[in-house]
Structure 1
Amino acid sequence: MIVANGEYDNAGLQQLGSPAADADALAGVLADRTISDFDVRVVRNETAHAVEAEIEDLCAEGRPDDVLLLHFSCHGLKDDSGGLYFAARNTRPDRLRSTAVPADFVQQCIRQSRSRSIVLLLDCCYGGAFGQGVAVRSSGDANVLDSFRGGRGRAVITASNSIEYAFEGARLAEGQPAQPSVFTSALVEGLRTGEADRDEDGWIALGELYEYLFDRVRERNPKQTPSRDIEMQGELYLAKSRRRRIKPSPIPADLSAAIAAENPFTRLGAVAELRRRLSSSNLPVALGAFEALKVMASTDIEHVAAAAADALRSAVVRADVSSVRLSAPPGEVAAAVVRAVGPPVAREARFEASHAWIRVTETDAGAELAVTAGASGTRRGNVVVTGPTGDAVVAVEIEALPVPEPEAVAEPGPEPIVAAEPEPSPAEPEVKPVPEPPERPNVALGALDAPNATLGALDAPNATLGRLTEPAAAEAEGGVAADPGPGAGGTEAPESAATARAADPVGGFAGLLAITGAVFAVVGLPMNYRYGYSLSQYRPGMESYVLVVGACALLAGILTLAPGTRSRTGPALLFGAGLAALFGLLRFLGEAIALSQQGDTELKAGYTFALLAHLAWVVAGACALAALGRSRAVALGAGPVRGWPAWVAIVLGLTAAVGWIVQLVDLNTYDSSDAGRATAYFLLGALLAVSVPVVAVVLRPRLVGCAVLAAGTAGLLGVLAPTFAAVFEEASLGLGGQAIAVVALVLLAIDTVVLAVQARNQPIGRQP
């Protein structure tokens, strides 16, 4: 939870710009599932009692295995006795006990929490000098950390000690643009870039974070000294880091023997094996092979060394572009993306900018650049891509576009004297002159309308540069920019307008394939399925299932091709429809296999079209999932199941599966031959009922999972038709099992709506 109070009703407390910026920056990092696994709540500019209620809720709801992190960004005040208080919106410096948040209250909440790991970050001033009229007294030897001692598994890190000020931006002053404070900006930078991972083990520990904060804060402002009081059993890791030091694995003994063999052809064989190991996703194995090839390239005979050098070149660090050229109005930001290419060991790279006007945000796919144009002319810099197998340099240029001069407005002169015209006679209607349309004013070129911009590897002559803070793809689909749910992929990556206009060929193929499958299904339904019977006559109920899944696939295919929904909504629905189509595909394949074993080949054109339709839908679903993974508008990933609606979805899927199993058991008791013919309906339906909710609730972003669950649930409702037809005239218990399945799936459809509303409305912070 982030408590950000920068607006105060009392005139004696200086308004702060940093808390708002602190909250946005820190919430964005902590909500990024590639960095941490926190569910973020922001409390902005609330009164003291509202802040206390939020703190008590956080600590009371914490479970033993939860890590609670509480961050204060506000004024810190002390009373006459040295007691510490956090300023809220309604705080009066002369009435701290009743209008501010006491540190003792926070301490009590922390002590009473069930959580075994609690971290408190205090970005506050301690002492006076907040503005004229503030009389806050503090003894020079009082230590803020004294207010938070005691208990195991607790840690406190403060922006400054008891007699220093926590600086807002670069100085304590009003009228400056809102920037994160020195302390919080260092905290965000250390977590975002991974620089706080001092030992480069892929994890940012609490101790490492403090050491990084101490160095960076003192470097930027020697008058501010972060302090800490950490009482932890074992190490506490707060975030993940891409700065992972890879230790090469030793070469196996038989391969080492081949490398040292006297026969050069044996050593050439060793080079081939090392090249294969070089492309392994096991990075220590790949790096071990790289080190061995380096030795062979420098010490072996010419043709063996040449083969080793050629293998090394395939794994050196490379970027997908050698240069990035951008343009934007002065002071504006243009965006681009740079990716490392090659085998996994070559893609394990870091990206560092040569200048402060090039901001680098590392992602799993590479790095996003936010480049700020200068006042005039062209800025030139570099981004260095460094990995365990070498480094590469990408040149970055941004041209400041000229801003057109405003048109001069002529000074108004004296109004001319115009003679009065005679009144028109009644017989002659008055003819009014038609005014000419006004000329369109000159429009200054903005960063969204750069005429000759090159974006990353794209070299389109009219590429449009998007603002870094403008998630075009997410807004086009009504999504949210950050998903605070756990797992990877909470947040969507920024996407330039040029890339947003370009359709993903994989997604386009999936959409066309889904529509083709729907056409096959409609054409094949009236045709003979077996002997002289259509599908509805030979397998009653299956035609309803085919129509339901076909409608879902057709809609999803159209949305996958539509510009506004092709990056997330369409592929997500299509993946869910593909999951539902597995029922029909396996059912039709099983029937063909069973009949072929009996020597019966009487399956007709209706069967062929139905099989091809379901095969097309399943393949389209797989391609849609691949398109989601490739999309820069969606950080696709998986995470743990969190929240009661997600668990309810899994329970309802299991309940539907139980209902179908009950039907199968009763049908087998009543008539084993009928049960044998209908077993595939019930078993496949039960398997699908369990699989669809589980897959959907672990997908991230959550809105993608909700779309998958919606299409999959529609397919499950379609399965009700053939299962009902199989037991309609057989047994009352079978109908009871069908009723269980019906109720469970209807409730699952309702729960899907609840999940979608929850995912769409989930904030990264609370507004005042």
Structure 2
Amino acid sequence: MTGARRALIIANGEYDNPGLSALRSPAADAEALAEVLGDRAISEFDVQVVRDETAHVIAGRVEDLFADSAPDDVLLVHFSCHGLKSESGELFFAARNTRPERLASTAVPADFVQRCLRMSRSRSIVLLLDCCYGGAFSQGVAVRATGEANVLDAFPAGGFGGRGRAVITASNSIEYAFEGDQLADDHVRPSVFTSALVDGLRTGDADRDEDGWIALGELYDYLFDSVRERNPNQTPSRDIEMQGELYLARSRRRRIKPSPVPADLRAASEDANMFTRLGAVTELQRRLTSENLSVAIGAHEVLTTMAQTDIRHIAEAADLARREARVRAESEVVRFGEVVRGSRPAARIRLAGPPIARACRFASSHSWLRVTEDGDEAEIVLEQEELGAFEARVTVTGPTGEAVVRVEGRVVAETAPVPEAAPEPVPAVPAPPVAPVSKTDPFAVAAGLLAIAAAVYLVAIAFSLGSSLEDFFEDGGWVMLPLVVFASAAGIAMLLRNTRRMAGPGALCGLALLSAMPYGPALLVLTDGFLLAGAVCALIAVRRDRSFRLALGKPRDALGVAALVAGAGCAAGLVTEAVELIDYSSSRADEGAIHLVVAVLLLAGTALGVLLRPAAFGVAFLGGVAGGGIVMVCALFYAMPSSSSVTGAGWGIALAMVLALAILTGFAAWKAR
């Protein structure tokens, strides 16, 4: 056909009038149908979508579509909305501004659509109606419509001058009543019909004769069976008046016609000499691996006959040969593991064997597991929203048999840390095409090595400050030991398999927040640089991990509130000490300012650790903040001259509260195991 192929999708799910219940599916259905109709590999329609518009906008788009058509054009119109029947029996399509008591002026009359159809020059028009039908009447009058909606009566056969047109409805007799101006039954969603339509076109299942094309009649038969299977109370109806067949889409389904084996090979397979038949099995096995699928399926048929009818020795050889062409996937199970609800993870199913074994179709057992064929592979996308464990099947069917691939996992509200397991043959990978963090991730390893390098450098500096133990304590070498311990722990956590995903990055980032301040001897600048660089590498490693994303949430429980109190108490102690230092001497103002900066950073870090999600990362971050707080309190206390007359009451508060924060963090980590 040389004409244009144009589709108009009208989806109304939101209504200004409270009497018309909102419909959830029209927006999603419109998007899915527009995608499949506009796919150049499937249907090649030029698609326009009109979503949640007023009646006059919809009427204008409908009239434009039909008025600007040529005889060879193929036109398709899809309505997904409420269908309303007036007291006089006229059918209307509801728009966003529709008022049930003023249908004539605020809705789109079916009679108007019929007139546009009749005036169009196109000889190939398809009208698809996926609507909830109900009686509409004056406000305040409690009436229930009693007759059927009789949707097809609004588009009577013979009313189009013999021109080709087809009307397919989701249902012709379901009615829902208004009580006053309220729709009494608002729980039905017009999604089953359009979902089946999209699935039939996308997967090619509507191609019943497997000739590579989806004809209009085949599409209706598929819709009827699919809708009835999903909802026995809904029966699609049709009125098709066309000369010849109208093909709406292409299909990847092609029935493979077996090519007859050569006459001499056929004779050898039936020869009385068993060794001749064995030789025929070898040649048939070679033909079974051919790129020419007709040749391969012809050989498979002969081998099947020999396996079923020949003597045991020949039958076993023939059966072994044809088993090489059986349908099989590289992995029989796809494990998604724990999946965050709404994340839409994806995985691929790859087939094995010769070409004839990979010429297959894929079908999902559940609607929330979407399967998209891609040559001899398939991508599966998980759209499950229900929390808890799930299990589904993907059936792979080919000319040499079928195989079943199990799909399993668990949907959770929030990602929990999971020990890294051996990789699956077909791993489940969340949607964005970025590689997750693995045991060989260079940024995770770099972060761990930088933290350990900082600790080693600190040890060298600490023991170079004095030649004796007394000098070690007098010269302040002991102040560096807490940072050595915490930096080493964070570095080791970054290198261990079970902690490098969340615990290691969280602890290293929390530690770097406080301990990497430019305060103290110039020798410590290198340590600060190591810790900051390690924290940056850790955050990059977290970013590269596709299995979770950092986010903020409410404090988890009383434990989080207690941690916030401890952080605030520590900050208050440091602020008190800063005020005392500044009051004591104006020359100490710079030192007091540093105390204030540490107090602000510790309070902000505590709040961030309590609010961060996932919980494992937040707890680890809180632990790093507590460790950094201990380091800074010790360092600032040592830096205070012995001659100072400052009371040091703030130091006691700060040290006590930061130790409480560390204890609370340890308890939270134990609780989250």
Measured against the shorter chain, the TM-score band is 0.5 to 0.7
Q: Does residue 85 in structure 1 map to residue 92 in structure 2?
A: yes
Q: Residue in 1 aligned with 2:467? A: none
**1:302 to partner: Cα distance:** 6.4
Report the counterpart of residue 122 of structure 1 in structure 2.
129
Q: Which deviates more from structure 2 when the two are superposed, residues 274-283 or residues 123-132?
A: 123-132
Cα separation, partners in 2 of 1:108 and 1:394, compared to 1, 3 Å: same
In the other structure, the counterpart of 2:46 is: 39
Counterparts of 2:584 and 2:138 in 1: how far apart (Å)?
76
What residue is the counterpart of 2:561 in the other structure?
Answer: 410
Deviations along 1:238-282, whole A, 9 cap, x unmatched?
A: 233445444434334343233223455554554344334323444
| Alignment-derived partner of residue 366 in structure 1 | 377
- Indicate conservation of the 8 Å contact 2:329/2:351, yes or no: yes
Partner residue of 2:318 out of 308, 313, 316? 308
TM-score, reference length from structure 2: 0.57
Give the deviation of 1:130 after TM superposition: 11
Greater Rg by CA: 2
Post-superposition offset of 1:155 = 0.5
Aligned to 1:197: 207
- Cα pair 1:190 1:212 within 8 Å, conserved: yes
Give the deviation of 1:52 after TM superposition: 1.9
SS in structure 1 at match of 2:135 = coil
> Are the aligned partners of 1:65 and 1:115 in contact in 2 as well (CA < 8 Å)?
yes
CA distance 1:273–1:53, shift in 2 (3 Å) = farther
Query: How many Å separate the matches in 2 of 1:220 and 1:165?
Result: 20
Q: Does 1:27 align with 2:195?
A: no
Conserved 8 A contact 2:582-2:588: no
Matched residue, 2:245? 235
Equivalent residues in 2 for 1:441-460, closer than 5 Å: 441=609, 443-445=612-614
| Residues 118-158 of structure 1 deviation map (CA, whole Å, 9 limit, x = unaligned) | 11011123323799869899672662212212233111011
The 1-side partners of 2:239 and 2:103 are apart by 25
From 347, 350, 355, give the equivalent of 1:339: 350
**Of 267, 285, 293, which residue of structure 2 is paired with 1:283?**
293
2:132, 2:190 within 8 Å by CA — same for their partners in 1? no
From the superposition, tell whether residues 263 and 185 of structure 1 become closer, same or farther in structure 2 (CA, over 3 Å).
same
Q: Counterparts of 1:101 and 1:154 in 2: how far apart (Å)?
A: 20
Q: Note closer, same or farther for the CA distance 1:134–1:182 as it changes in structure 2 (3 Å cut).
A: farther
Aligned-partner SS, 1:216 = helix
Letter in 1 for 2:26: P
| One-letter amino acid of the counterpart of residue 609, structure 2 | P
Please point out which of 100, 115, 124 is paired with 1:108. Answer: 115
Residue 109 of structure 1 and its aligned partner are, at CA, apart by: 1.9
CA distance in 1, matches of 2:90, 2:96: 19
**Structure 1 CA distance, aligned partners of 2:288 and 2:74?**
39
**Which structure shows the higher strand fraction?**
2
1:160 aligns with 2:171: yes
CA RMSD of aligned residues (A): 3.9
Post-superposition shift, 1:376?
7.2
User: How many correspondences in the alignment?
Assistant: 440
Q: Which runs of 5+ in 1 are unaligned?
A: 447-768
Q: In structure 2, do the counterparts of structure 1 residues 372 and 327 end up closer, same or farther at CA, with 3 Å as the change threshold?
A: farther
> Counterpart in 1 of 2:271?
261
What's the counterpart of residue 703 of structure 1?
A: none
1:397 aligned to which of 408, 433, 437: 408
The 1:290–1:389 alpha-carbon spacing in structure 2 relative to 1, beyond 3 Å, is: same
User: What SS is found at the alignment partner of 1:140?
Assistant: coil
- Structure 1 partner of 2:665: none
| Partner Cα distance (1:377, 1:52) in 2 | 46
Alpha-carbon spacing, 1:102–1:372, altered in 2? closer, same or farther (3 Å): closer
Please say if 1:324 is aligned against 2:328.
no
Residues 52/215 of structure 1: CA separation in 2 closer, same or farther (3 Å cut): same
Query: Structure 1 pair 426/276, CA: closer, same or farther in 2 (3 Å)?
Result: closer
**CA–CA separation in structure 2 for the residues paired with 1:47 and 1:215:** 34
Task: Report the Cα distance in structure 2 between the residues aligned to 1:297 and 1:392, rounded to whole angstroms.
Answer: 21
For residues 238 and 172 of structure 1, do their structure 2 counterparts lie closer, same or farther at Cα, with a shift above 3 Å needed? farther
State which drifts further: 371-380 or 143-152: 371-380
Residues 499-540 of structure 1, C-alpha deviation per residue, up to 9 Å, x if partnerless?
Answer: xxxxxxxxxxxxxxxxxxxxxxxxxxxxxxxxxxxxxxxxxx
State the distance in 1 between where 2:225 and 2:194 align. Answer: 13
**Aligned with residue 583 of structure 2, among 407, 414, 424:** 424
Deviation at 1:71, TM superposition (A): 0.3
Q: 1:204 is paired with a residue of what secondary structure?
A: strand
Q: Which residue of 2 aligns with 1:644?
A: none
Q: Aligned to 1:251, what secondary structure does the other structure show?
A: coil
The structure-2 alpha-carbon separation of the partners of 1:9 and 1:384, relative to structure 1 and needing over 3 Å to count, comes to closer
- Percent identity over paired residues: 61
Matched, 1:206 2:216: yes
Within 5 A, what are the aligned runs for 1:645-656? Answer: none
CA contact (8 A) 2:100 2:137 kept: no
Q: How does 1:531-542 map to 2 (within 5 A)?
A: none
Equivalent-residue separation in structure 2 for 1:163 and 1:300 (angstroms) = 59
- Looking at structure 2, the residues matched to 29 and 376 of structure 1 have their Cα atoms a distance apart, in angstroms, of 29
Deviations 1:167-188 (A, max 9, x none): xxxx9866x8x97622222322
Q: 1:406 to 1:192 in 2, by over 3 A?
A: same
**Alpha-carbon deviation of 1:68?**
1.4
Amino acid at match of 1:153: G
C-alpha separation between the residues in 2 aligned to 1:105 and 1:339?
A: 51
Distance 1:292 1:374, change over 3 A: same
CA distance in 2, matches of 1:201, 1:275: 28
SS in 2 for 1:277: helix
TM-score, structure 1 normalization: 0.50
Is 2:55 the partner of 1:48? yes
Tell me which of the two structures has the higher relative contact order, counting C-alpha pairs closer than 8 angstroms and 6 or more residues apart.
1
Q: 2:640 corresponds to which residue?
A: none
Equivalent residues of 1:13, 1:131 under 8 A apart = no
Q: Which runs of 5+ in 2 are unaligned?
A: 1-7, 178-182, 417-554, 616-673
Structure-2 change in CA distance of 1:268 and 1:75 (3 Å): same
